[in-house]
Homo-oligomer: A and B are copies of this chain.
Amino acid sequence: MSLRKRVFEVLEPSVSGLKIARVMEYFFITLIIGNIAAIQLETVPGFYAQYTSFFNDFETFSVLIFSIEYVLRLWTCSEMLKYKHPLKGRMSYMVSRSGLIDLLSILPFYLNFLPIDLRWLRIFRLFRLLRMLKIARYLTALNLIFAVIKDRREQLMVVIMFIFFLLVIIATVMYYVEGPAQPQVFSSIPATMWWGIATLTTVGYGDMVPITAMGKFLAGIIAIIGVGMYALPAGILSAGISDHLHAHKSSKEKRCPHCGKEIQ
């Protein structure tokens, strides 16, 4: 077996099932989780100042590993049928979703060494967040949820449109009802929409609360509509999950109990 094929199999545990591939998988999951934790902990005031050198070292180490990973993936991608062509295959791998994520998530580190305007650098630093998405390669279990959402995206879009439609009407009516009593709080229809969404989803922050009797009456009706609204995506996604989980059952052949021939 060629070295390239071997490296490819080490990087793709789902293809090869090699033991060293599984070890590499766990190493990458740990490294990515470490990176996610680092990105978040860096923002804690005082924490970054105290452990600056550790955060910097970990960043350098991570980028080094991810760079090697990227180069190896680029080299070995031609093992896949999709990217077989030596040059054109690698080009299309580079602009594929996972190829772009891998590249962009390490880019900010290298841009530090270039003489670029600092303000631009800050925006590029946000690309580090893309490392979070690298974990999706390993958490195949998440695919069930994404598959269900993708399957039912049309119906979910209808529900979101319906919620938005409702929200516009609610905010408009509530603005005219409650606005005169609290002109500072329910100051415009878009501002009232913030209240509408907090009520309709039953979040209820309490930063905007109607005080007039009519406003409270309307808010009560809206809150009850909100309860009903939970039922719509629940019904759609529940049916979607149960369809996915029982997919193997329906894939079994069905036969007529009388003549024994297959039936759709």
Interface residues of A (CB under 8 A from B): 36, 39-41, 43-45, 47, 126, 129, 132, 135, 139, 141-142, 144-145, 154-163, 165, 168-169, 171-172, 175-176, 179, 187-191, 193-194, 197-199, 201-207, 209, 213, 216, 219-220, 223-224, 226-242, 245, 256-259, 261-264
Contact = CB atoms under 8 A, between A and B. Distances in A.
A24 to B, nearest CB: 21
The A contact surface, by secondary structure, is helix
11 contacts: A44-B187, A129-B172, A139-B161, A160-B224, A197-B219, A197-B224, A204-B205, A230-B231, A235-B237, A256-B256, A259-B259
With a 10 A CB-CB cut-off, give which of A156, A206, A227 has the most chain B CB atoms.
Answer: A227
A176 B237 contact: no
Given A205-B206, A229-B227, A237-B232, A141 B126 contact: no
A161 B141 CA distance: 9
B202 A201 contact: yes
Given A162-B145, A187-B45, A201 B176 contact: no
Contact of A231 (B172, B203, B238): B238
Given A40-B188, A257-B262, A238 B227 contact: no
Contact of A190 (B40, B197, B239, B259): B40
B172 A194 contact: no
B197 A220 contact: yes
Contact of A203 (B40, B202, B264): B202
A115 to B, nearest CB: 25
Contacts of A245: 155, 239
Given A194-B219, A203-B226, A256-B261, 8 more contacts: A41-B189, A43-B189, A44-B188, A44-B191, A126-B176, A145-B162, A194-B216, A231-B233
